[in-house]
């Protein structure tokens, strides 16, 4: 049998956080955290931060939300907030 024997695929170190966003969501789900990321086309047209990450439940005492103009900005803010809340996201 060939192929990846581990749980997580190898991450392209040259890639950005947007390359691992789905893995982060999957990991959060495994921790009992409800999480989502969405883009709002109306906010993008209005030149507002169109990307939103939201999470709640599990080990998070309170729900959280992070917004950004790009998915990278949104997820970077979200990871910072998750780490401040005590979740050591492995990405």
**Which residue reads 């695929």 in tokens?**
9
Say whether pLDDT at 20 is over 90: yes
Spatial strand order of the sheet with 64-68 comes to 34-39, 51-56, 64-68
Q: Indicate the pTM of the whole model.
A: 0.79
Q: Taking Cα atoms as reference points, which of 33, 63, 38 lies closest to residue 50?
A: 38
Residue 7, pLDDT score: 52
For residue 15, with 0-12 CB atoms within 10 Å meaning exposed, 13-18 middle and 19 or more buried, which class applies? exposed
Q: pLDDT tens digit string along 57-77?
A: 999 999 999 999 999 999 999
Residue 2, pLDDT score: 43
Say whether pLDDT at 90 is over 80: yes
Residue 60, pLDDT score: 96
Q: pLDDT tens digit string along 23-47?
A: 999 999 999 999 999 999 999 889 8
Q: pLDDT tens digit string along 3-14?
A: 444 554 444 445
């Amino acid at each position: 049998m060939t192929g990846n024997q581990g749980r997580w695929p190898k991450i392209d170190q040259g890639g950005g956080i947007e390359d691992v966003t789905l893995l982060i969501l999957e990991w959060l789900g495994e921790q009992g955290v409800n999480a989502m990321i969405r883009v709002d086309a109306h906010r993008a047209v209005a030149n507002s931060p169109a990307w939103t990450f939201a999470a709640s439940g599990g080990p998070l005492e309170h729900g959280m939300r992070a917004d950004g103009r790009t998915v990278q900005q949104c997820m970077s803010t979200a990871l910072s907030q998750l780490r401040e809340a005590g979740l050591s996201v492995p990405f």
